[in-house]
Structure 1
Amino acid sequence: MSEAAFLIGEPLALDLVNTHPADTDLLTTPDQLADWLRQETERLPEPPPEHPSAEDLRQVRQIREHIAAVCEALLHDRRPPAAALRAFDNAQSAAPAIRQLHWDGTTLTATVHRTGSAGTRLAAALAESAVELLGSPAIARLKQCEAEDCVLLFLPAHPRRRWCSPQRCGNRIRVARYYDRHSTAKHTKDDESHQRLP
């Protein structure tokens, strides 16, 4: 699987939801999860597992499903499913965050560590990123790509943004419109030529 297939750059929770565009699931194997995690490493609170297990994949996909359900509800001005909201609490509770103090020789520093297996900590971190996003005022800007065959989600920085990515859907739509305009203009010219013929 090519790492280029993932659309990244949105909030982490949306990047996760966007690993399931339309009828394609980009996270069906632990190796695919490892590819996605490598691209998101800088955004995670701790290094992800290098070789995720099938159980890690299951937990991540479960969090993804709950984020998608809440986003779908918000896009349609409906109440988010209570089960999805509880799932975020449960995932974070399964790997509680503990603030630990460390003495570096001159001062105390506090760091946050989660307990539990690598996959459980990863699911908790993803659930936490979902809670941060979904509880933020920014979520009111949530949009779905306007390309007919695209379901990817994004938070536009500019209110006129219409597509998930200028490269992915924006260019494709613009090229299709250009082709349609020029094709229509050519047919119109051809029709006028035929009408002028004796």
Structure 2
Amino acid sequence: MDTSTSSTIAAILGEPLPVELMNTVRGGRGEVRDALDGDVAVHAWLNAMAERILAESGAQTIRFPLEDARIVAGDLRALRDALRCLASEVTEDPRPPTSGTAHAQAVATINTLARIRAELVWPVDGEPTRTVTARGSQARLTVGLIARQAVDFFGGQGRHQLRACLASHCVLYFVKEHPRREWCTPKCGNRARVKRHYDRQSPAGS
């Protein structure tokens, strides 16, 4: 079992779950780092997202044992690469690609992994709720939930609001919910403004 830890921590921006998964790579000066590069890193990301998964799946409790994270790690990375492939196309992303996945393969991967079933839970003496189920562990449910949300996201109007953050060295995506938003985080916005100022002050061609 791979128990290596990752020095890269994924950005968690409060974006839709498919976009959060896209953002499990981080940019750097001349390199792209994978925040899901080992079983422990996958386990840590699943636990970081546990409250979101609990709320959006309708589950009563959520638990991600390390062994379950190991089992789904490959699928989670494949789903991430598929999402980034389609995100790059949708946004006409000018940045170098971080995914070697082709369009047809990306679509097939999402469809294959989007195997969850919605169920109505309605106790006689309680309020109705919606929950989703999948074969296997809650880690497997998480992969299916994100893939199903990706189907809705790319197949609906949400994809038109997806943006690539074009700040220097950034490789993240975000959903442009506010007309004035240009960057994934204020930090990237500040960095971009500093670069613009520097470029204006620098002699042309220097």
Scaled by the length of structure 2, the TM-score of the pair is: 0.71
How many Å apart are 1:33 and its aligned residue?
A: 1.9
For 2:190, the aligned partner's letter is N
Matches within 5 A, 1:84-95: 84-93=106-115
Change (3 A) 1:172 1:114: same
- For residue 72 of structure 2, the aligned residue among 50, 56, 63 is 56
Match of 2:26, SS?
A: coil
Partner residue in 2 for 1:32: 41
Partner Cα separation in structure 1 for residue 200 and residue 34 of structure 2? 34
CA RMSD in angstroms comes to: 2.9
Partners in 2 of 1:81 and 1:3 — Cα distance?
Answer: 27
Shift of 1:28: 0.8
CA 43–177 in structure 1, closer or farther in 2 if over 3 Å, else same: same
Native 8 Å contact 2:79 2:109 kept in 1: yes
- Residue type of the alignment partner of 1:86: A
1:36-185 counterparts in 2 under 5 A?
Answer: 36-44=45-53, 45=57, 46=59, 47-51=62-66, 52-76=68-92, 81-93=103-115, 96-97=116-117, 99=119, 101=121, 103-104=123-124, 106=125, 109=128, 111-118=130-137, 119-167=139-187, 169-178=188-197
**Structure whose residues are more often helix by fraction:** 1
Residues of 2 paired with 1:100 and 1:89: CA distance? Answer: 23
The TM-score normalised by the length of structure 1 is 0.74
SS of structure 1 residue aligned to 2:135:
coil
Once the two structures are superposed, what CA deviation does each residue of 1:37-89 show, in whole Å capped at 9, x if it has no partner? Answer: 23322221142514243221111111111111111121239xx8233222222
Pair 1:180–1:86, CA change in 2 (3 A):
closer
Structure 1 letter corresponding to 2:42: L
**SS of alignment partner, residue 182 of structure 2:** coil
Larger radius of gyration: 1
Map of 1:196 onto structure 2: none
- Give the whole-Å Cα distance in 2 for the aligned partners of 1:57 and 1:91: 13
Q: How many residues align?
A: 178
Letter in 2 for 1:150: C
**Separation of aligned partners in 1, 2:172 and 2:65:** 27
After the TM superposition, which of the residue ranges 51-60 and 149-158 deviates more from structure 2? 51-60
Equivalent pairs: percent with the same residue? 28
Q: Write out per-residue CA displacement over residues 132-189 of structure 1, whole angstroms, 9 at most, x where no aligned residue.
A: 221221211211112132121111122332221112x1122334445666787xxxxx
**In structure 1, what is the Cα distance between the partners aligned to 2:158 and 2:167?**
22
Rounded to whole Å, the distance in 2 between the matches of 1:164 and 1:41 is 22
Which ranges of structure 2 fall in alignment gaps of 5 or more residues? Answer: 1-5, 94-101
